[in-house]
């Protein structure tokens, strides 16, 4: 095999050149770990996925996710985009493709439901692979040092800045308005200083900033910065959105809730993305988080494997 086929899609959008780009290698058999990392680094997207036959034949595929610098256990937009690409194939490794897919990933099994419009996949919904976990709180000065803001912009009435995860760990923090959100600029030295505080593994220190209002608390604007992963800013981050959404629902006073949350991201980058979350809370515990969104195909081509 001298060449390797790939497809790119823009995820969490229905408009080409918006949303979050993803490259999908739909048959990565024969590639070494090092080759996967080099390909991901070459694309320089926030993530690239490599699809392999499942270890358990009851599942659809094994999916490995690489940033430009490392492999990670789970991420939102790579799952939505990979499901979109595979869902338009007649088969995956000899098995017919239905409307439900199961991906084996380092974080666990990721279940995907496809929504079709005629012969095309219109959207995909994925279930977070792990329950919500909350780590250490983070000083406001650490957060604002990462994004060149004054500590006074941090809002802690709902929660202090904190680590949250449903499969991949993020620092999440609320700021006091769209102006502060728009002003944020990643400061590499600040991220390097903050990285020592991270208490769960998975990837380097990544920061999810957001704004919401009392009038529309479940409509959220956000930005995500991960310069230590060579991603200065990410236009759509499903895993961070899911962690934040689950955390906010867990903090709500109601013991039982079924909440739909909309998170708009990437606006400041000119790559608007819309991420939909459905979060279920029962007996005071978040029991289910589903991340959904649309995709649009952009490019396809071949990677040369030999000089």
Q: Which of the residues are catalytic?
A: 47
Please, what is the angle between helix 76-87 and helix 238-251, to 10°? Answer: 120
- Residues whose CB falls within 8 Å of the CB of residue 135, separated by 6 or more in sequence, listed in order: 162, 163, 164, 165, 169, 199, 200
Query: 281: helix, coil or strand?
Result: strand
Give the span between the Cα atoms of 98 and 60, in whole angstroms. 10
Give the span between the Cα atoms of 68 and 70, in whole angstroms. 6
Angle at 248 between CA 180 and CA 279, to 5 degrees: 125
Determine phi and psi for 219, rounding to 5 degrees: -110, 115
Quick check: 15 and 7 in contact, CB under 8 A? no
The two three-digit tokens of residue 234, written as one number: 């990410």
């Amino acid at each position: 095999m001298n060449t390797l086929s790939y497809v790119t899609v823009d995820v969490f959008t229905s408009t080409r050149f918006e949303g979050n780009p993803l490259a999908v290698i739909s048959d990565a058999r024969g590639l070494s770990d090092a080759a996967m990392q080099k390909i991901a680094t070459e694309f320089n997207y926030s993530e690239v996925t490599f699809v392999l036959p499942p270890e358990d034949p009851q599942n659809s595929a094994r999916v490995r996710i690489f940033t430009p610098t490392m492999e990670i256990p789970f991420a939102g937009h790579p799952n939505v985009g990979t499901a979109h690409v595979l869902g338009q194939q007649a088969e995956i490794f000899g098995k017919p493709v239905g409307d439900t897919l199961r991906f084996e990933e380092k974080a666990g099994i990721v279940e995907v439901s496809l929504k079709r419009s005629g012969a095309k996949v219109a959207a995909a919904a994925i279930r977070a692979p792990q329950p919500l976990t909350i780590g250490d709180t983070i000083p406001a000065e650490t957060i604002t040092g990462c994004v060149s803001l004054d500590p006074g912009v941090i809002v802690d009435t709902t929660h202090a800045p904190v680590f949250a995860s449903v499969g991949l760990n993020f620092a999440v923090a609320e700021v006091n308005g769209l102006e502060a959100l728009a002003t944020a600029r990643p400061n590499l030295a600040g991220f390097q200083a903050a990285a020592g505080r991270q208490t769960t593994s998975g990837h380097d220190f990544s920061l999810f900033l957001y704004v919401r209002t009392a009038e529309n608390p479940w409509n959220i604007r956000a930005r995500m910065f991960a310069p230590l992963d060579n991603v200065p800013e990410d236009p759509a981050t499903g895993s961070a959105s899911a962690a934040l959404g689950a955390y906010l629902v867990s903090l709500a006073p109601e013991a039982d809730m079924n909440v739909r949350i909309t998170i708009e991201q990437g606006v400041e980058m000119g790559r608007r993305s819309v991420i939909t979350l459905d979060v279920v809370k029962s007996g005071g515990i978040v029991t289910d988080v589903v991340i959904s969104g649309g995709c649009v195909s952009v490019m396809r081509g071949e990677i040369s494997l030999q000089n």
